[in-house]
């Protein structure tokens, strides 16, 4: 299949999915429209593969004559090899999420609106990396934004928290569109064309280039969820249906990373050089702040949302490191940093899909997403436990997963950058390395907490102890399990096939700094070799003797149940005696207390008049996003005050309204007549 054929197939299947969503009976709607959405994702994969292997000059040309003398070029859908990589990511994530949604989606999420929006959501995300001009890019971007907003609102009638979350998301995503449209308008006016090829050839610099760069960077950073523009992400992800959350986190935010890579390497490379430190700072700050917030929260989906900020931050950090090293005349190491960015994009897409789908299974089975009230799910949901555990290993960057390979490659680029080239590099690389080490360490603690509190120990609530029988008997549960297994296999497979994947990504970017070794390992020119296959064999060799020893001991030593006090508390232990997610994170809250500023309350009730014995102790701790509290909350208050003042203009006077219209007309005429 060619890229053009893939795009035509995507458009055709989107139309079929919309028809099925609108006309299929409610009983078969999820199966029919979900199956068509899976087809959209699979067609997106083929489109991306075709673009990577044999990119066409123009895949699909859509000439549109716009009246009024605007001079717009025809719309062009022509995925480059880089765009093809992101098409593969979107297609794979969309297909797995659609399969999961067939079993998961019920009620509003399975409505005509829900499945129609899901198909359009996938279409918009596939148009963005396929776009060859400004107009088609913005059309795809807005389709993606509007469809995802509708999906976030799916459960607004059942849960009050959904509406404010959707409002935050709508405001931030349309702020992104506004800044992108303004930035692209500046570039198009200077290049006298709306095609990306002409914009890149124009070599735009000066005040126009700087203004366009900053506007586009803000727009892409907002969609990517980078700090301090991340506030929509921990609100919208937890409230959206879980298969939608998976697509938003694993695929949609990558469109922001895609835009930043294009901005810094293709559209405005000359302008971006002085801003390399800014890009690096955005990435490092987002990585460390995101994982710190994830490590202390007890809401599972909110934890995964903040983890997304961390993962995207690492990818942007890699881009920033590559920019700095390129400026310092170190192209080989810079190429490794840019390939690390794509490896981080691909690996995050794999494990974050599985993690959100696992969170959806937990939510369906127990009605809980609070880790303080979960536990013991490994017995009742072994498939979810194994897949979630493997994905958590990837998120923790443990061998032999895709996350380990990606973060190892980034660390190699930072470590082997020559800081003697200039003072800025000498300062930036050690600071970046230290913050990366902190981020990776906190990531391990975060996902040990997430997996341990959800699946191990005893259940901490009745809901966790007795999962919903309706969920277990539902026929769609099998589709949910298959989707999770497919995603987990991708996490494992991407880790084992690191060499060929890194080589392919290196060729996509036009670099030769990374090649594949004979064993499928990852060879970094002038740096070293990583062979995940050998690591896997070593891990298996170490695990087999331990497993055999455990089996032998279990057979020779009989199991006995006793009420003795020294039985390690195994019989008499109450779930209240176990660690919770809040207590697990308490040391981190103390260490980073100045940055987190938690609010605590402690209520102690005495037993009668006795001042020693206590009948009840209640402890509550609330942790909020300090960026939102200190920046967005005051800005929101001022906007509300300004809005209240602006209402005074609407006094009902037709003469005043006509005066406003006349003044606006005069202003437009003045602007148009200016040379």
Asked whether the predicted pLDDT for residue 333 surpasses 60, the reply is yes
Highest mean pLDDT among 280-289, 540-549, 591-600: 280-289
Give the lowest-confidence range in 204-213, 443-452, 456-465, 597-606: 597-606
Q: Among residues 83, 193, 203, 176, which one has the least CA distance to residue 135?
A: 193
Q: Residue 28 has what pLDDT? A: 84
Asked whether the predicted pLDDT for residue 317 surpasses 80, the reply is yes
Helix %, strand %, coil % of the chain (to 5): 75, 5, 20
Asked whether the predicted pLDDT for residue 561 surpasses 70, the reply is no
Q: Residue 68 has what pLDDT? A: 38
Whether residue 635 lies inside any domain: the answer is yes
Asked whether the predicted pLDDT for residue 596 surpasses 80, the reply is no
Whether residue 53 lies inside any domain: the answer is no
Q: Among residues 262, 138, 146, 139, which one has the least CA distance to residue 197?
A: 262
What is the token pair recorded at 268? 């405005």
Burial 434-452 (b: 16+ CB within 10 A, else e): ebbeebbebbbbbbebbbb
The whole-angstrom separation of Cα 178 and Cα 180 is 5
Give the lowest-confidence range in 324-333, 442-451, 461-470, 525-534: 525-534
What is the token pair recorded at 517? 């070794």
Whether residue 633 lies inside any domain: the answer is yes
Asked whether the predicted pLDDT for residue 521 surpasses 80, the reply is no
Cis peptide bond upstream of 400, omega within 30: yes
Whether residue 255 lies inside any domain: the answer is no
pLDDT interval class at 65 (50, 70, 90) = very low
Asked whether the predicted pLDDT for residue 360 surpasses 70, the reply is yes
Asked whether the predicted pLDDT for residue 528 surpasses 60, the reply is no
Q: Which residue has the tokens 């998120």?
A: 395
Q: What is the DSSP letter of 133?
A: B
Question: Per-residue pLDDT tens for 129-169?
Answer: 999 889 999 999 999 999 999 999 988 777 888 898 899 99
Whether residue 610 lies inside any domain: the answer is yes
User: Which of left, alpha, beta for 342 (phi over 0: left; psi -120 to 50: alpha)?
Assistant: alpha
pLDDT interval class at 562 (50, 70, 90) = low
pLDDT interval class at 67 (50, 70, 90) = very low
| CA distance readout (Å), 661 to 485, 599, 649, 655, 664 | 60, 50, 13, 10, 5
The whole-angstrom separation of Cα 438 and Cα 376 is 30
Asked whether the predicted pLDDT for residue 622 surpasses 50, the reply is yes
Whether residue 631 lies inside any domain: the answer is yes
Q: Residue 516 has what pLDDT? A: 59
Whether residue 669 lies inside any domain: the answer is no
Asked whether the predicted pLDDT for residue 64 surpasses 50, the reply is no
Q: Are 149 and 192 in contact (CB under 8 A)?
A: no
The whole-angstrom separation of Cα 451 and Cα 445 is 10
- Percent of the chain with pLDDT strictly greater than 90: 42
Number of domains, the chain? 1
- The widest CA-to-CA distance across the chain, in whole angstroms, is 96
Residue 656 parent element (H or E): helix 654-673
pLDDT interval class at 209 (50, 70, 90) = very high
Q: Are 145 and 151 in contact (CB under 8 A)?
A: no
Q: Are 90 and 124 in contact (CB under 8 A)?
A: no
pTM: 0.89
Asked whether the predicted pLDDT for residue 668 surpasses 90, the reply is no
| CA distance readout (Å), 54 to 48, 258, 259, 342 | 10, 20, 22, 19
- Those residues whose C-beta lies under 8 Å from the C-beta of residue 461, and which sit 6 or more positions away, are 366, 368, 373, 374, 375, 575
Whether residue 621 lies inside any domain: the answer is yes
- Percent of the chain with pLDDT strictly greater than 70: 86
The whole-angstrom separation of Cα 118 and Cα 252 is 12
Find the domain containing 639 and state its range. 600-647
The whole-angstrom separation of Cα 498 and Cα 474 is 38
SS3 assignment, position 63 = coil
Highest mean pLDDT among 164-173, 497-506, 510-519: 164-173
Residue 629 parent element (H or E): none
What is the pLDDT of the chain when averaged over all its residues?
Answer: 84
Using CA of residue 504, residue 354, residue 372, residue 236, what is the dihedral sign? positive
Asked whether the predicted pLDDT for residue 335 surpasses 60, the reply is yes
607, with CB counted inside 10 A (0-12, 13-18, 19+), is exposed
Q: Where are the alpha helices (DSSP H) in 369-474?
A: 377-380, 382-395, 402-415, 423-455, 462-465, 469-473
Bigger pLDDT: 470 vs 92: 92
Q: Residue 390 has what pLDDT? A: 93
SS3 assignment, position 399 = coil
628, with CB counted inside 10 A (0-12, 13-18, 19+), is middle
pLDDT interval class at 86 (50, 70, 90) = very high
The whole-angstrom separation of Cα 70 and Cα 67 is 7
**Torsion angle of C-alpha atoms 448, 451, 456, 457, degrees rounded to 10:** 60
Q: Where are the alpha helices (DSSP H) in 456-510?
A: 462-465, 469-473, 477-496, 498-508
């Amino acid at each position: 299949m060619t890229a053009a054929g893939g795009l035509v197939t995507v458009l055709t299947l989107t139309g079929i999915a919309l028809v099925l969503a609108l006309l299929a009976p409610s009983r078969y709607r999820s199966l029919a429209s979900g199956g068509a959405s899976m087809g959209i994702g699979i067609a997106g994969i083929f489109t991306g593969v075709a673009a990577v292997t044999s990119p066409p000059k123009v895949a699909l040309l859509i000439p549109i004559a716009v009246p009024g003398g605007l001079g717009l070029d025809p719309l062009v859908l022509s995925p480059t090899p880089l765009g093809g990589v992101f098409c593969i990511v979107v297609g794979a994530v969309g297909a797995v999420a659609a399969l999961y949604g067939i079993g998961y989606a019920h009620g509003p999420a399975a409505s005509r609106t829900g499945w129609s929006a899901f198909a359009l959501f996938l279409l918009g995300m596939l148009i963005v990396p396929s776009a060859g001009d400004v107009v088609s890019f913005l059309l795809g971007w807005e389709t993606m934004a509007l469809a995802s907003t509708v999906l976030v609102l799916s459960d607004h009638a059942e849960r009050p928290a959904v509406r404010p979350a959707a409002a935050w998301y709508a405001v931030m995503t349309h702020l992104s569109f506004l800044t992108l449209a303004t930035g692209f308008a500046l570039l198009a006016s200077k290049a006298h064309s709306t095609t990306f090829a002409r914009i890149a050839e124009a070599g735009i610099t000066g005040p126009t280039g700087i203004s366009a760069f900053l506007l586009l960077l803000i727009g892409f950073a907002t969609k990517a969820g980078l700090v301090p523009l991340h506030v929509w992400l921990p609100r919208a992800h937890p409230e959206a249906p879980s298969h939608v959350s998976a697509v938003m986190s694993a695929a949609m935010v990558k469109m922001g990373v895609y835009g930043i890579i294009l901005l810094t390497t293709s559209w405005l490379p000359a302008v971006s050089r002085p801003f390399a430190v800014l890009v690096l700072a955005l990435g490092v700050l987002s990585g460390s702040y995101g994982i710190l917030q994830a490590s202390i929260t007890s809401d599972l989906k909110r934890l995964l949302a903040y983890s997304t900020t961390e993962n995207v931050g690492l990818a942007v950090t890699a881009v920033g490191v590559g920019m700095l090293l390129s400026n310092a005349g170190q192209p080989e190491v810079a190429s490794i940093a840019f390939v690390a960015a794509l490896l981080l994009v691909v690996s995050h897409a794999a494990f974050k899909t599985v993690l959100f789908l696992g969170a959806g299974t937990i939510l369906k089975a127990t009605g809980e997403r609070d880790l303080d009230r979960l536990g013991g799910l490994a017995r009742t949901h072994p498939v979810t436990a194994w897949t979630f555990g493997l994905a958590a290993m990837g998120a923790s960057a443990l061998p032999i997963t895709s996350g380990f390979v990606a973060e190892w490659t980034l660390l190699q680029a930072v470590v082997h950058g020559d800081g003697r080239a200039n003072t800025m590099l000498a300062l930036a690389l050690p600071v970046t390395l230290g913050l990366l080490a902190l981020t990776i360490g906190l990531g391990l603690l975060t996902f040990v907490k997430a997996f341990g509190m959800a699946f191990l120990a005893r259940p901490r609530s009745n809901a966790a102890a007795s999962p919903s029988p309706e969920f277990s008997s539902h026929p769609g549960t099998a589709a949910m399990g298959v989707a999770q297994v497919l995603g987990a296999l991708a996490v494992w497979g991407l880790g084992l096939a690191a060499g060929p994947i890194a080589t392919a990504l290196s060729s996509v970017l036009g670099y030769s700094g990374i090649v594949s070794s004979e064993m499928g390992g990852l060879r970094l020119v002038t740096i070293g070799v990583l062979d995940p296959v050998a690591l896997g064999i070593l891990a298996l060799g170490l695990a087999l003797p331990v497993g055999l020893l455990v089996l032998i001991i279990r057979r020779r030593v009989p199991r006995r149940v006793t009420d003795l006090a020294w039985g390690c508390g195994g019989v008499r232990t109450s779930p209240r005696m176990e660690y919770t997610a809040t207590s697990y994170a308490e040391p981190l809250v103390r260490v980073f207390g100045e940055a987190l500023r938690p609010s605590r309350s402690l209520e102690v009730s005495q037993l009668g008049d006795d001042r020693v014995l206590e009948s009840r102790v209640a402890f509550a701790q609330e942790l909020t996003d300090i960026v939102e509290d200190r920046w967005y909350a005051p800005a929101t208050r001022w906007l509300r005050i300004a809005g209240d003042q602006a209402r005074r203009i609407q006094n009902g006077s037709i003469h005043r309204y006509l005066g406003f219209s006349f003044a606006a007309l005069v202003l437009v005429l003045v602007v148009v007549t200016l040379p």
